[in-house]
Amino acid sequence: MSLIKDLKWRYATKKYNAEKKVSEAEISKLKEAIQLAASSWGLQLYKILDVRNPETREQLKPHSWGQSQITDASHLLVFCSHNSVSDQDTDDYIALKAKIQGVKVEDLKGYGDFMKMKINEKSPNEVKSWTDKQTYIALGNALIACAEMKIDATPMEGFDAAKYDEILGLKEKGLFASVVLAVGYRHAEDDAAEQPKVRKSIETLFETYE
């Protein structure tokens, strides 16, 4: 299974080759892989910012524990989650579903009403936790896609989310920064590339109930 080999190849890259860039064609494939991620009810309650402005990335670096990946990686993707979920979000999804699948919006009304009811039962904190989890599913797709394309990637939680929200104007967009993904190509001097992957054994990680 080539996927297993690809996953064994990948690691959280510590040092990037700042001179080597990921092609636009490969970035387009990566974005499509993220777009196709599983999502609760298909709502996709997140947005991914492709931060290319060097000055903005320099601004973000000190609020990311000074990690060099922020500025040296070819691309920097900031995965942002919705702060809240409105009935309009559901209506927009139902309209899109009806258009793509060739059905009438009225025929999906019951489904949409059920979605709204279950979402509105959640507290504001539960909503943020839920949207955050959905965003991480999209991140998982990104990591797997990068591994298959032999593009290095570093998922990063070591950053000041409030500062990211401020610098990127996320609050005004109804979003908050969940996780960052640096994408590019490893530097020849990145010692972490040669370190054995540390994972629990299959026997430890899984328990079978029969």
Give the C-alpha separation, 134 to 144, whole Å.
16
Whole-number pLDDT of residue 104:
98
Give the C-alpha separation, 198 to 187, whole Å.
21
Amino acid at 3: L
Domain positions in the chain: 2-83+124-205
- The residue assigned the tokens 């040092």 is 15
Task: Write out residues in the chain with pLDDT < 50, as ranges.
Answer: none
Q: Tell me the whole-structure pTM to 2 decimals.
A: 0.96
User: Cα dihedral sign for 52, 56, 58, 61?
Assistant: negative
Instruction: Provide the CATH topology of domain 2-83+124-205.
Output: NADH Oxidase (3.40.109)
Q: Which of 135, 154, 170, 177 is nearest to 39 (CA)?
A: 135
C-beta separation of 81 from 131 below 8 A: yes
DSSP letters along the chain, please? Answer: -HHHHHHHH--B-SSB-TT----HHHHHHHHHHHHTS--GGG---EEEEEE--HHHHHHHGGGTTT-THHHHSSEEEEEEEES---HHHHHHHHHHHHHHHT--GGGGHHHHHHHHHHHHTS-HHHHHHHHHHHHHHHHHHHHHHHHHTT-EEEEE--S-HHHHHHHTT-GGGTEEEEEEEEEE-B-TT-GGGGSPP----HHHH-----
141-171 residues labelled b (16+ CB within 10 A) or e (exposed):
bbbbbbbbbebbbbbbeebebeebbebbebe
What is the token pair recorded at 70?
């922020």
Whole-number pLDDT of residue 1:
73
Sequence-separated (6 or more) residues with CB below 8 Å from residue 45: 39, 81, 82, 85, 89, 130, 131, 134, 135
Whole-number pLDDT of residue 108:
98
